[in-house]
Structure 1
Amino acid sequence: MSTAKEEEIGLQTLQDVAIRTLALCYPPHVQGQVTLLCHSENATYRIDTPSGHRYALRVHKHGYHQRPDIESELDWLSALQASGIRVPRPVIGLDGQYVQSAEIGAGKELNLVLFNWVGGAEPTADVDVSAFMRLGAITAKLHQHSRQWQRPADFRRIVWNHQSMVGPEGHWGNWRNAVNLDSSAFGLIEEVLQRVESELASYGQDAKRYGLIHADLRLANLLVDHEHTHVIDFDDCGFGWYMHDLASALSFYEHHDRLNDWIEHWLAGYAAVSRLTAYDIAMIPTFIIQRRIQLLAWTGTHADTQQVRNLGANWAKQSVDLCRQYLNDGLAQVALR
């Protein structure tokens, strides 16, 4: 998932770039058939080699991340991998670089990264709640690493604060343009955001609460392989509140009947690795509603995508209902086990 401020490039052009870059920039053993896997923000292709190996080639969306930002993402992935956390591993190009660039005309370039294939199945809303316990534990390990890791001096990633998430010029657009959102709900959402902003200002951004996070740790970015859970798609990783990673794990399903079960299992997994304070837990509803409104904005800038169409006509109304629950202190009432 990414910003609204970018230029669309046709799928045929993206596929041509993927095929050409693979042939010119990578060694023979990774060459193979190129098949589109998904095109939500970036375009991701599966590479099937004659020897039976697979790779994933990510073509970055034009105008979102610059090359140094992508290199910083890969720096974190490398450090996480070295610490034993299961994340994608990039494949080095013939030039000794992990990030490749391809010209597409008019002085424009696309950035590409080839990753080793990560096996597993994507969980759904009906996933066994134990998967959320595993996710909580993995997230805690990510946060521990983030707090302890000495980042390179030139490390740079996107910033996720209240304004960049849900402000009028937010990275994912303006929530007022959300699909199927009735303008009669604007006042309610504005009231919610005023409270959210106040709560976050009190909570603060000290190093225990705010740092380098995945920022899009939702079900679609997990791959479960038996007892192992892999975290993928660090494309939105940046600087934000650590508890946002819990909110993002619930993305698009914040209205689900099993929400509290998911949260409680996530918390149990997290607590097995790292400590959360009562204040952190009390802030969960605030982070959940902020994320939901951020996703409202995202639907507005992605109205023509199948993912938004699949949400259905009632998703915006469910979002408004969640806003009312939040103001009435009825959203996500959970406690640490």
Structure 2
Amino acid sequence: MEMEQYDTLTDGDMIAMANEVLTRYLPKHQGEATLICRSENATFKVKTATEQFALRIHRPDYHNALNIQSELEWLAALEAQGFVTPAPIADAQGTKVQHIRVSDDDLRFAVLFRWIEGDMPTTDIDPEQFEPLGEIMARLHLHSIEWQRPEWFKRLEWDHASMLSAEGHWGHWQKVPGLSPQDIETVQHAVDNIATHVHDYGKEAETYGLIHADLRLTNLLFHKGETRVIDFDDCGEGWFMHDIAAAMSFYEHYEHMGQWLNSLLQGYQKVRPLPQRDLNMLPIMIMQRRIQLLAWVGSHQQTEMAKSLGDHWVAETVRLCRDYLDDRWKVLKHAV
């Protein structure tokens, strides 16, 4: 059975749920909850008289309690190594992962985090600002390779099948509205081509491991010359090059994308030099990510992000698949 891909509760329902969850915390952590956004989860800003916090309520059928506890374990390990990460807050009973029983068939989880200060970039970002993103991304990957995880640690896997197959975590790309039979054929050819490349690439420890998996503009913060990464909700097992591809998310067709990628790679390779084999995979990973996002758009049409893309975004995706198949998509022309 195909899982539900988007939360069906109203914003009002979610706000009421947030206010109920906050009563479990110490008075100093309770405040006014304002809904910021909804996607795989609902995120709230909680403002008290002296502080701000971020409350995240997960949708059902995505992560279980062990998955979320595993995310928090990685965040704690990263913080211990000097990364600025959203630290979880325990409730009055010392519990960090809240269980919310909405109905017999609807169990949800919530976590309250300390607020991370910073400004979120837009598409007007100076391409040079992708360089520090590359540096912090490389540091995350080095930490992932070296970190000894607990035996109980468990996160989602982001491989070709879990992204692009009919059983993908975000649904199936063929279900997005607006695709003609010819479009579906074009995208399918790209999917098949990508499958061959990633199979040959493999999943060795130097190429595949624990990644953020959603390092895009909306999950970055700039604060006093420092680049910070937030929202580790999608972190899981995947290709390190997928993290680089994800930094281009939704804007793979954007005219400055090549400059963004060039700057990111310059920063990344200051910390973790990449062999040519990895660089050769980037166009494939970026195309794979774009089709993964096509699946997300199809299954999350109610979200503000999906609505904001406009009808042309799907057509641009098909065009990118055509260019990719014809070897006309030179995404690395500025980066190598």
TM-score using structure 2 length:
0.95
Confirm or deny: 8 A CA contact 1:173 1:298 kept in the other structure: yes
| Aligned-partner SS, 1:112 | strand
The 8 Å contact of residues 6 and 63 in structure 1, kept in 2 or not, is answered as no
In 2, distance between residues paired with 1:4 and 1:184?
28
How many pairs align?
333
Q: Specify the code of the residue in structure 1 equivalent to 2:26.
A: P
Specify every segment of 5 or more residues in structure 2 that has no aligned partner in the other structure, as ranges.
Answer: none
Structure 1: which 4+ aligned runs deviate by more than 3 Å? Answer: 3-7, 334-337
Q: How does 1:254-333 map to 2 (within 5 A)?
A: 254-331=252-329, 332-333=331-332
- Deviation string 1:126-151 (CA, Å, 9 cap, x unpaired) is 10112211111111000000000000
CA offsets, 1:141-192, max 9 Å, x none?
Answer: 0000000000011000001110110011111111111133223211111111
Match of 1:192 in 2: 190
Q: Offset of 1:105 from its aligned partner?
A: 2.7
Q: Does 1:175 align with 2:173?
A: yes
| Deviating more after overlay: 202-211 vs 301-310 | 301-310
CA distances 1:204-258 after superposition (whole Å, capped 9, x unpaired): 1000000000111111111111311111111111001010001110000000111
> Structure 2 counterpart of 1:234, which letter?
F
In structure 1, what residue type is equivalent to 2:15? Q
What is the aligned partner in structure 1 of residue 225 from structure 2? 227
CA distance in 2, matches of 1:114, 1:205: 34
TM-score (norm 1): 0.95
Whether contact under 8 Å (2:261, 2:335) holds in the other structure is: no
Instruction: Give the direction of change, closer, same or farther, for the CA distance of 1:58–1:8 in structure 2 (3 Å limit).
Output: same
| 2:155 aligns with one of 154, 157, 178 | 157
Q: Is the 8 A contact 2:43 2:54 kept in 1?
A: yes
For the residues of structure 1 that align with 2:252 and 2:13, how far apart are their CA atoms? 36
Distance 1:219 1:4 in 2: 26
Taking a change above 3 Å as real, the CA distance of residues 145 and 325 of structure 1, as seen in their structure-2 partners, is: same
Tell me how large the CA RMSD over aligned residues is: 1.5
Structure 1 residue 336: Cα displacement? 5.2
Specify the alignment match of 2:234 in structure 1. 236
Helix, strand or coil for the counterpart of 1:243?
helix
Deviation at 1:285, TM superposition (A): 0.5
